[in-house]
Homo-oligomer: A and B are copies of this chain.
């Protein structure tokens, strides 16, 4: 499978312009799986609920999901991409998966970061993994990475590849992905954006770029620069992610002791 990402700097609020630019940039890609950033066509820093309402779209009926579905069908390509979703009275920080037959599914971000909490609802889909012809694809969005339960849940659900649309501003994710991938033996494709936004008083929000593909053994297979637009793809082998052996006597999944982990899924904190 050829997996890849596209990182660039969208112009806030110019959805159609950004979408055209992305579609043009990836039109010759040879990827089988292409991951685009979180909020890839709208920009990130919303400053009012009205703005969110104006830029959010229904999934799958909105123009962005329709455009991605059409591209997937035309290029026989799976795409994972983030966008603000309108669902009834709620808004979600969502990502869609589209494939050769069009729309496949949506994931709504579980762990909201900072002021996303002012406008978006916490995701209600839970983590999901789709069994596609190119492999089992799971999705987490940006800050989800900080919670080890995210990758673990996706891996236990069978993900070979974790698609990770992001708008990272904190510095630690790129160097943490090797640990997360190794402890779960999965691939991760982190698609981050670049540039900055100054949509309110105070210092600009700077995005760290460095989109990255990480292997199940923790190897960083490719990392984009912090400031440059980049479309990168490379061959990965989903079968590698299905071998959870650490030694001839140790297997990452079979050695787990779920009965010892109960507190992790209980709604209490002992402090």
Contact = CB atoms under 8 A, between A and B. Distances in A.
Interface of A: 110-115, 117, 122, 126-127, 143, 146-149, 152-153, 156-158, 170, 172, 175-176, 179-180, 182-183, 218, 242, 246-250, 252-267, 269-271
B115 A249 contact: yes
Contact of A114 (B153, B158, B247): B247
Given A146-B183, A175-B179, 8 more contacts: A126-B259, A153-B260, A156-B263, A179-B179, A253-B269, A258-B267, A259-B267, A262-B265
A147 B255 contact: yes
A250 B156 contact: no
A113 to B, nearest CB: 6
Contacts of A267: 258-259
B258 A158 contact: no
Given A156-B263, A179-B180, A172 B218 contact: yes
Contact of A261 (B115, B149, B269): B149
Q: Which 9 A-B pairs have the closest CB atoms?
A: A148-B148, A179-B179, A149-B261, A265-B265, A261-B265, A176-B179, A258-B267, A262-B265, A156-B263
24 contacts: A110-B257, A114-B249, A115-B249, A126-B260, A127-B260, A143-B250, A146-B246, A149-B152, A149-B260, A149-B264, A152-B261, A153-B261, A156-B263, A156-B269, A156-B270, A157-B263, A175-B179, A176-B182, A179-B179, A179-B180, A242-B271, A261-B264, A261-B265, A264-B264
